[in-house]
């Protein structure tokens, strides 16, 4: 799932190096994406060998922005969502400083890449992805979850080419539904955002998400955006008026459906139920088949428990491994046998160093270094030491 807040492509292999970080039963690999509140890392379950993605949230940032209640509610809802077209959330863990959300890893890249490489999709292919997108959005709306930032970059593909919506319910953590039943936070990517969201007078999350789905369908079939302008205010004017035209290669029925979805008036805009009953949409449509399994939310409740039972917390620890080195790498570690000058032009080089100064006594500095280095697996050696 990757966040659109922590976007980036997910691949099915971790990084290298001489050591790996372990969190619970998961071994962390390379960073897949990074955002304001979160970082997403590749990980492997060492017990089962399964590859997953782990979203890591900083507890201090969560507390600072008073987001605990919102995150707990959103994570609980996401864990309840089991749909073939939404990235699955497996479990939640926490250390003293971080929250770890373990999610399904998808390896087929972004749908955006498919558009970028082909220019545009054939109408039947675009319809297939649009059907899966609507299935996911409709299911999540039925559980009170709204994405608020739907765009091709947030639509991933698994190894079989099945569409997976990422970050559903986690992409806009700070938003709240007010007493009037509407959302009031302007968010999302401007080109995909509904006019009522920009208006800042409150909007229905389901209707706003459907507008974004309409823009995505247009992009899949056209290969370009329906609303585009380098000037942001000019772009907003086009969105307010739904000032766009469909290319000649769109079928008549596709044009009609897109115009009903991209209706600037949310009250007269077509609904998802009406989209599913539309003749163009129904062509070759296969409703998703899946079973609703029992879900345990104990891990979420324990992590956000105010008492903070230490037994429930995981520890992030680094496990050092012997580095695999070839002969040249081994030789180059010795300053007297550095072969770099045989292959590189001699230039004035600057040695990269880190220095620090402190007013504390040397004994106190060294004891702090030893205390910090010990738990990380380092050995501290003192040479020619004078206090």
Backbone angles phi, psi at 205, to 5 degrees: -60, -35
Residue 210: its pLDDT value, please? Answer: 96
pLDDT digits (tens, 9 = 90+) for 279-303: 999 999 988 887 666 666 676 767 6
**Contact status, residue 12 vs residue 105, Cβ threshold 8 Å:** yes
Residue 121: its pLDDT value, please? Answer: 93
Residue 341: its pLDDT value, please? Answer: 47
Parse the chain into domains and list their residue ranges.
Answer: 111-282
List of residues 6+ apart from 9 with CB closer than 8 A: 32, 109, 110, 113
Q: Is 167 assigned a catalytic role?
A: no
∠ Cα 44 45 50 (to 5°): 75
pLDDT digits (tens, 9 = 90+) for 95-115: 888 889 899 998 888 888 888
List of residues 6+ apart from 298 with CB closer than 8 A: none
- CATH 3.40.50.10190, applies to 111-282: no
Residue 143: its pLDDT value, please? Answer: 79
Backbone angles phi, psi at 103, to 5 degrees: -130, 165
Q: What is the dihedral of CA 328, 329, 335, 340, to 10 degrees?
A: 60
- Residue that the structure tokens 């050696």 belong to: 381
**For residue 203, which of 182, 186, 181, 188 has the smallest C-alpha distance?**
182
The first and second tokens of residue 215, run together, are 């823009």
**Contact status, residue 204 vs residue 100, Cβ threshold 8 Å:** no
Catalytically annotated residue among 3, 58, 113, 149: 149
pLDDT < 70 positions in the chain: 1-19, 168-188, 291-297, 299, 301, 303-312, 319-359, 374-378, 383-387
DSSP calls for 267-284: TTSPPHHHHHT-HHHHTT
Cα distance between residue 69 and residue 71, in whole Å: 6
Q: Is 259 annotated as a binding residue?
A: no
Give the 3-state secondary structure of residue 32. Answer: strand
pTM score, two decimals?
0.68
DSSP calls for 108-143: S-BHHHHHHHHSS--HHHHHHHHHHHHHHHHHHHTT
∠ Cα 13 15 20 (to 5°): 115
Q: Which residues share a beta bridge with 43?
A: 28, 52
Residue 16: its pLDDT value, please? Answer: 43
C-alpha distance from residue 22 to each of 44, 56, 211, 308, 362 (Å):
9, 13, 42, 21, 33
Task: Give the up-direction half-sphere exposure of residue 310: CA atoms within 13 A in the CB hemisphere.
Answer: 0
What Rg do the C-alpha atoms of the chain give, in angstroms?
Answer: 26
**For residue 241, which of 262, 255, 224, 261 has the smallest C-alpha distance?**
262
Cα distance between residue 375 and residue 366, in whole Å: 15
Residue 201: its pLDDT value, please? Answer: 74
Cα distance between residue 269 and residue 257, in whole Å: 11
Residue 58: its pLDDT value, please? Answer: 85
């Amino acid at each position: 799932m990757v966040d659109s807040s922590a976007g980036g492509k997910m691949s099915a292999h971790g990084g290298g190096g001489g050591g790996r970080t372990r969190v619970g039963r998961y071994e962390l690999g390379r960073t897949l994406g990074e955002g304001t509140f979160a970082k997403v890392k590749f990980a492997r379950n060492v017990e089962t060998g399964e590859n997953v993605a782990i979203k890591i949230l900083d507890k201090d940032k969560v507390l600072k922005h008073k987001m605990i209640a919102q995150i707990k509610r959103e994570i609980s809802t996401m864990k309840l969502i089991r749909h073939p077209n939404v990235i699955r959330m497996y479990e939640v863990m926490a250390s003293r400083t971080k929250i770890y959300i373990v999610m399904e890893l998808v390896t087929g890249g972004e749908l955006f890449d498919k558009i970028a490489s082909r220019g545009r999709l054939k109408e039947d292919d675009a319809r297939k992805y649009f059907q899966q997108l609507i299935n996911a959005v409709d299911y999540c709306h039925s559980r009170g979850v709204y994405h608020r930032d739907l765009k091709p970059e947030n639509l991933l593909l698994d190894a079989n080419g099945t569409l997976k919506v990422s970050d559903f319910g986690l992409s806009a953590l700070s938003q709240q539904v007010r007493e009037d039943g509407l959302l009031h936070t302007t968010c999302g990517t401007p080109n995909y955002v509904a006019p009522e969201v920009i208006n800042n007078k409150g909007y229905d999350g389901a209707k706003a998400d459907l507008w974004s789905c309409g823009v995505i369908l247009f992009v899949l079939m056209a290969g370009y955006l329906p609303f585009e302008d380098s000037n942001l205010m000019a772009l907003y004017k086009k969105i307010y008026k739904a000032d766009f035209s469909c290319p000649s290669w769109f079928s008549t029925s596709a044009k009609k459906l897109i115009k009903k979805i991209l209706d600037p008036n949310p009250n007269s805009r077509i609904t998802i139920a009406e989209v599913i009953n539309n003749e163009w949409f129904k062509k070759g449509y296969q409703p998703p088949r899946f079973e609703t399994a029992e879900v345990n939310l104990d891990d979420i409740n324990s992590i956000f428990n105010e008492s903070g039972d230490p037994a429930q917390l995981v520890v992030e620890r680094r496990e050092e491994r012997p580095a695999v080195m070839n002969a040249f790498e081994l030789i180059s570690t010795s300053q007297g046998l550095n072969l770099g000058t045989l292959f590189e032009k001699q230039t004035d080089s600057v040695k990269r160093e880190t220095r620090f100064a402190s007013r504390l006594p040397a004994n106190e500095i060294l004891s702090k270094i030893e205390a910090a280095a010990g738990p990380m697996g380092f050995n501290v050696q003192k040479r020619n030491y004078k206090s």
